Structure 1
Amino acid sequence: MTTRILPAVGDPDAARAVLTLVGQLPDAEPSGPVADSTRLLDTLASLAAVSLDELPDVVLVHERIGPVPALELVREVALRFPAVGVVLITSDASPVLFSAAMDSGARGLVTLPLGYEELASRVQAAAQWAAGVRRHLGGAAEGGPAGPGGTVVTVSGAKGGVGTTVTAVQLALAARASGRTVALVDLDLQGGDIASYLDVQFRRSAVDLASINDISPRVLQDAVYVHETGLSLLLAPGEGERGEEVGERAARQILHALRGRHEVVIVDCGTHLDAAGAAAIEAAATALLVTTPDVVAVRAAKRVVRMWDRLQIRKPEETTILVNRHQRATEIQPALIQRITGTRIAGVAVPAHFKELAAVVDAGRLHDLDARSSVKQALWQLAGELGLVTAAAAQPGKEPARGGDRGALGALRRRGGGR
């Protein structure tokens, strides 16, 4: 079987050396090298737009590639193009770098100066891994789209009680109603309660995937709950202390697997930043930060934005603020919040009409929120702004009532057990 190899090498002399050796590998079909990270990502994106089969099997990333540093580029390729095996070429053979490369998504590491045997071994392993991923993605008709991966949107709260989970759930419902395949992930690992908002009893959670190195479609299917709305739910553990089992590497692998099977992945990161949430926020196409227009919440939002920047998780200008419970008469308006935080501001603000939500939240059936709700209309409009709905965007519609107890008492009764 032919192995298509795309080298990403900035230095001309290094590029010639890599091409010379790659050309000697059996059944290798090397492409001309790309000279920088931007060209590599653009090339992969254009190939993926044609077909999954057009992507190279292996990408070789040289340590001196730029302008994006090599490890960051490895992470970006692994997240955006999960069917491509990435091999890092480096002069640093230390265990620390090896661990960092693996955490970033590399499938192998080759040390300089290049040796034929080592390069052949790493390329072969990466190509075999890529072929396995493509076989899984090729079964898209069984439960998800093939391709470079779906869009990831994270939803975080500036502080508790600002409406993070309601926002995440409604964005997911809007995307699903427009015909997209959607995964809703609860990465608020200690306090997340998406299950209660959607009347779900299910014992599996993200923790069940934390120790698995290769998350196959079958393994993913066992951990995901398919909701009556069609959403694929990956829940937080019932025992909050177990959330520590989901670290950065596990979060990346989980998102990688979900993106391969869904067009949209919405991640509720809660208000507490941990390694898993940081990995999700860093990888997301859109990082949404929810705040309310009051002094305490806006100060908290500013602290969060600065923390993400200090930790190099997300730059302020790459963060989008959503103002929830907005009132025209309030002194703090979205434009002021944008100036204070240095972020982008969502084009829609969610009105302060919590009474519309009270009944469905208490009943644990947020998916039954009436289409006339101004809160629902605003959040579904936001989904359109973020590109989460198809061209013919769905209008908010009320799901038909389904049997069983209704109201808060019924919800409490139903949550007594679990699968």
Structure 2
Amino acid sequence: MTTRILPAVGDADASRSITTLLSQLPDAEPASPVADSTSLLDLLARLAGESLDELPEVVLVHERIGPVPALELIREVALRFPAVGVILVTSDASPGLYSAAMDSGARGLVGLPLSYEELAQRVQAAAGWSVGVRRHLGQGADVFTGPGGTVVTVSGAKGGVGTTVTAIQLALAARASGHTVALVDLDLQGGDVASYLDVQFRRSIVDLTAIQDISPRVLQDALFSHDSGLGLLLAPGEGERAEEVNDRLVRQIVSALRHRYEIVVIDCGTHMNTANAAAIEMADTALLLTTPDVVTVRATKRMVRLWDRLQIRKAEETVTVVNRHTRNTEIQPALVEKITSTRVARISVPANFKELQAVVDAGRMQDLESKSTVKQALWGLAGELGLVKNATAEKQSRFRQDRGSLGSGRRQGRTK
């Protein structure tokens, strides 16, 4: 049996050394090395999208891979591609690191400098495990094998541009079309998702800070099951606890959510920190909300440049959404696109706060009427982003939701 091996090595000298040794292994088919964590995950996602059989049996992760640290990368690969055997290549072969690697989902550890016998043994063991998992999956086991759910982050160029309303409506649109959906409030100091959805829930994202390994099962205990069908991971009620949430925790949470839900929508608020920067970096789609006025468009340009300087997101990989759009304003979407060098969404959200005021005051954003032009635009945006299964399913689900809302609305209202 031929074993396909994909090395993920950022260091050029180490890459040559590993590739040379892999080519000497019997029945081995080493692929060209990938130089960073993003390239590795993108390649695995593309292969998994074609077929489970297209994935390599073994992935080698070098200790100096980046930008995602090696152990966190191993954890994400293990969660998203459970049929791939991952091996850590490291100069630290201590029992502590070995234990941490195994906890992250690695199938083995190879010490540096490389030994042919040790490498051959670890690759053979990981490949055998991978083949066994695939044989099990081929028998129809109900195990997740795909590239993972779609992650969308929603950020604001400045305060008050509508990030929370947008995130909630995108999540509701995706859920109404039949997707499983999680909505995360990463506006850690001032998150309002709970208020907009009339939620009284004591647990929040900070309850996960003391847990070393965030598995989907552990994560479920911190999620609130909303009656709209959304799984909610809420911001802490005490804003000062925001500093307890770091980028490492967010990476674990996003990976676990992606493994459990088809769509993950994250409200990142407007203030940049390491936590929401990690989410934006991991997202399949990063939305940046702006309004058609000079001050906010300038703020949008500053945010885009900040993301680029910090290597969080390139301008061309960012989707700008124009909120509170009117036809008679001088600043139109085409101008925003030119100024920010981002891709502006085809659908702009109209300025019509009167439609929102009642549901915002009631704290029941899920009860926003279908005839609302704001809702129509945001659900249309969800379709543009590929978050709804199809138009028919969306219309049918929306009709059912609205009928249910009419009944519950007579008893008591709810939204943001």
**Could you say whether these structures have the same fold, taking a TM-score greater than 0.5 normalized by the shorter chain as the test?**
yes
**Aligned residues of 2:207 and 2:222 also touching (Cα < 8 A):** yes
For residue 151 of structure 2, give the secondary structure of its aligned residue in structure 1: strand
Mapping of residues 323-342 of structure 1, within 5 Å: 323-342=322-341
CA distance in 1 between counterparts of 2:357 and 2:240 reads 29
**Deviation larger for 121-130 or 199-208:** 121-130
CA distance in 2 between counterparts of 1:348 and 1:254 reads 30
CA distance in 2 between counterparts of 1:156 and 1:232 reads 20
Over residues 193-233 of structure 1, what are the superposed CA-to-partner deviations in whole Å (9 max), with x where a residue is unaligned? Answer: 10111111111111122232222333122111111111111
One-letter code aligned to 2:309? R
**Aligned residues of 2:57 and 2:85 also touching (Cα < 8 A):** yes
| Structure 1 unpaired stretches of 5+ | 24-28, 64-68, 413-419
Over residues 305-331 of structure 1, what are the superposed CA-to-partner deviations in whole Å (9 max), with x where a residue is unaligned? Answer: 111111010111111110000010111
Q: Does 1:182 pair with 2:194?
A: no
**Aligned residues of 1:180 and 1:264 also touching (Cα < 8 A):** yes
Residues 1:12 and 1:159: Cα distance change in structure 2 (over 3 Å): closer
Residues 1:362 and 1:141: Cα distance change in structure 2 (over 3 Å): farther
One-letter code aligned to 1:115? S
Mapping of residues 165-204 of structure 1, within 5 Å: 165-204=164-203
For residue 404 of structure 2, give the secondary structure of its aligned residue in structure 1: coil
For residue 160 of structure 1, give the secondary structure of its aligned residue in structure 2: coil
Task: Tell me how large the CA RMSD over aligned residues is.
Answer: 3.9
Mapping of residues 1-400 of structure 1, within 5 Å: 6-8=5-7, 14-20=18-24, 30-36=28-34, 44-45=44-45, 47-49=47-49, 55-56=55-56, 58-61=58-61, 70-72=65-67, 79=76, 81-83=80-82, 84=84, 86-89=86-89, 107=106, 110-115=110-115, 119=119, 146-392=145-391, 394-395=394-395, 396-397=398-399, 398=402, 400=404
TM-score, normalised with respect to structure 1: 0.79
Residues 1:124 and 1:15: Cα distance change in structure 2 (over 3 Å): closer
One-letter code aligned to 2:115? G
Q: 2:412 aligns with which of 386, 402, 406?
A: 406
CA distance in 1 between counterparts of 2:164 and 2:262 reads 20
Question: How far off its partner does 1:294 sit?
Answer: 1.1
Over residues 384-414 of structure 1, what are the superposed CA-to-partner deviations in whole Å (9 max), with x where a residue is unaligned? Answer: 1111111345135425232786359xx99xx
**Deviation larger for 46-55 or 311-320:** 46-55
For residue 340 of structure 1, give the secondary structure of its aligned residue in structure 2: helix
For residue 155 of structure 2, give the secondary structure of its aligned residue in structure 1: strand
Question: How far off its partner does 1:300 sit?
Answer: 1.1
CA distance in 2 between counterparts of 1:125 and 1:281 reads 36
One-letter code aligned to 2:292? P
CA distance in 1 between counterparts of 2:272 and 2:18 reads 40
**Aligned residues of 1:325 and 1:353 also touching (Cα < 8 A):** yes
One-letter code aligned to 1:198? L
Over residues 73-132 of structure 1, what are the superposed CA-to-partner deviations in whole Å (9 max), with x where a residue is unaligned? Answer: 867786573534544546x7699xx9xx98xx895764542036865897699889999x
One-letter code aligned to 2:20? R
**Aligned residues of 1:87 and 1:106 also touching (Cα < 8 A):** no
Residues 1:324 and 1:303: Cα distance change in structure 2 (over 3 Å): same
One-letter code aligned to 1:185? V
CA distance in 2 between counterparts of 1:157 and 1:366 reads 19
**Aligned residues of 2:186 and 2:267 also touching (Cα < 8 A):** yes
Q: How many residues align?
A: 387
CA distance in 2 between counterparts of 1:121 and 1:203 reads 49
Over residues 209-259 of structure 1, what are the superposed CA-to-partner deviations in whole Å (9 max), with x where a residue is unaligned? Answer: 223222233312211111111111111111111121110110000000000
CA distance in 2 between counterparts of 1:373 and 1:238 reads 31
Residues 1:169 and 1:124: Cα distance change in structure 2 (over 3 Å): farther
**Aligned residues of 1:322 and 1:346 also touching (Cα < 8 A):** yes
CA distance in 1 between counterparts of 2:214 and 2:130 reads 13
TM-score, normalised with respect to structure 2: 0.79
Residues 1:175 and 1:311: Cα distance change in structure 2 (over 3 Å): same
Residues 1:45 and 1:271: Cα distance change in structure 2 (over 3 Å): closer
**Aligned residues of 1:171 and 1:266 also touching (Cα < 8 A):** yes
Residues 1:55 and 1:381: Cα distance change in structure 2 (over 3 Å): same
One-letter code aligned to 2:343? R
| Structure 2 unpaired stretches of 5+ | none
Question: How far off its partner does 1:141 sit?
Answer: 10
One-letter code aligned to 2:375? K
